[in-house]
Structure 1
Amino acid sequence: MNASRSAGFANKTTLFLIAGALAAGLGLTLAQKYFHAPATPAAAPAPALKAVRLIQPARALPDYRLTQADGSELTPATLRGHWTLVFLGFTQCPDVCPTTLADLAKAQKEWERMPAATRPRLLFVSVDPERDTPQILGDYAHHFHADTLTATTAEPALHDFAQSLGLVYMKVPLEGAGYTMDHSATMIVLDPEGRQAGLIRPPLVPADIASDLRLLTEQKR
């Protein structure tokens, strides 16, 4: 075979290889288009939060039944449809509880402009049912903000509820007489399905909490 014929043969071979590659690529594209399942849409990006630390995935809670200030039951269904902050405390708390409720009342003031059907909620749960009757608890919390939900229950249901959220508390005897309650200062964030979706740790910045819960509420619409 002379040089010109050899070059022509090489050129034809190259063209066949290119054509084959293009055909294979086209076939792959068509196969992906007509036979492959469509790609799963990417999850919506989480909003940029300052105070709330989200938990992924959100965790379902066991069933619970607490008693509200008006004597009615508080169950998971009571909180459904709203983002909810859960905070443990007691009415005779000397510092952390009143300070926290005062800070959260500032966030609640911001939420008053949001529709009542989706407005974030605060649930204050007393870990001292021996002294905090439902009415005493409600009167105490509503002094800070009228929208605050309150609840408590007897043992061991109260312990089970706190434990399901990863929170703790204990009775601490005082010198002489009486007692106080030590309890977690972390707040738990429940999503509109009632699942544990995040937490907030001190120190609290009311403006950041208000902004975060507004963003979360708007994202779920």
Structure 2
Amino acid sequence: MFNKKIGFILVLALAAGLGLLAAQKYFGPAAPATPWPATQAVTMFPQARPLPPFSLRQSDGTQLASGELNGHWTLVFLGFTFCPDVCPTTLAELAQAQAQWKDLPDSIRPRVLFVSVDPERDTPTRIGEYAHAFHADTLAATADVPTLENFAKSLGFVFMKVPGKGYDENPNDYSMDHSSAIGVLDPQGRLAGLIRPPFQSRAIAADMRALTETSAK
């Protein structure tokens, strides 16, 4: 177990450090470089890159497919509702950021998308209740494991099921290790940058406001 955990931590580190390189190989030709405003929390990529087609199931039972995030800057975070620390802490910071940009018009207001990587336990209803407890505007979705793996890969993220000591007797005794960074999608639905922890709601809100206002010009 220890070796597996160490190995996964190394994978997370490599994914964070080499995310842009992986994206370049995965996505192919890039869009032209965009003159983004200076940012504090967001590490903008020199070139935004389209995501491969995807389809996730939202908390209300509808599908969230490629193109439906267009028109807004979107922050994407992977997690699960049984997460003891990273997920609630991150969603709390994002909720504070959402409160700081609530005055922006709904038509361009940034979005937050929480994607559960634990479909065995996290039903659409459960993830909706969980995410909305932090902020009512947060989108929540999940999918089957292969779909989630492809979606995570497109963001340069990874996740893995980690059985607990009592897993043989109790199939629900497990946790999920997952990338802790936040993917930043531009209004064309392209991966434009990353936010790495530690997260600061004021810096995130300021960046998303600046990016939204630049795009709206």
Shorter-chain TM range is 0.7 to 0.9
Report what 1:8 is aligned to.
none
Cα shift at 1:155: 2.1
Q: Report Cα offsets for 1:35-90 as digits up to 9, x if no partner.
A: xxxxxxxx874312100011121011100000000000001222100000000000
Report what 1:21 is aligned to.
none
Contact 2:70 2:189 in 1 (8 A): yes
Instruction: Say which of 181, 188, 191 aligns to 2:186.
Output: 191
Counterparts of 1:66-85 in structure 2, within 5 Å, are: 66-85=56-75
**Counterpart residue type for residue 192 of structure 2:** A
1: CA distance, partners of 2:48 / 2:34: 15
2: CA distance, partners of 1:97 / 1:155: 19
3-state SS of the aligned residue for 1:81?
A: coil
Task: Identify if the C-alpha distance between structure 1 residues 172 and 83 changes in structure 2 by more than 3 Å, giving closer, same or farther.
Answer: same
Report what 1:133 is aligned to.
123
Report what 2:136 is aligned to.
146
Report what 1:201 is aligned to.
196
Instruction: Say which of 188, 209, 213 aligns to 1:214.
Output: 209
Instruction: Say which of 170, 173, 177 aligns to 2:163.
Output: 173
1: CA distance, partners of 2:164 / 2:101: 39
3-state SS of the aligned residue for 1:212?
A: helix
3-state SS of the aligned residue for 1:79?
A: coil
Q: Report Cα offsets for 1:76-135 as digits up to 9, x if no partner.
A: 222100000000000000000001001110000012111000000000000000000001
1: CA distance, partners of 2:113 / 2:194: 14
Question: Structure 2: 5+ residue runs without aligned partners?
Answer: 1-32, 168-172
Contact 2:101 2:109 in 1 (8 A): yes
3-state SS of the aligned residue for 2:68?
A: helix
Asked which structure has the greater CA Rg, the reply is 1
1: CA distance, partners of 2:55 / 2:127: 17
TM-score, normalised with respect to structure 1: 0.79
1: CA distance, partners of 2:39 / 2:59: 32
Contact 2:34 2:47 in 1 (8 A): no
3-state SS of the aligned residue for 1:125?
A: strand
Report what 2:54 is aligned to.
64
Question: Structure 1: 5+ residue runs without aligned partners?
Answer: 1-42
1: CA distance, partners of 2:127 / 2:74: 18
Instruction: Say which of 41, 50, 73 aligns to 1:51.
Output: 41
Contact 2:117 2:145 in 1 (8 A): no
Quick check: 1:156 aligned with 2:169? no
2: CA distance, partners of 1:49 / 1:191: 14
- Residues 136-145 or 174-183, more deviating: 174-183
2: CA distance, partners of 1:91 / 1:109: 22
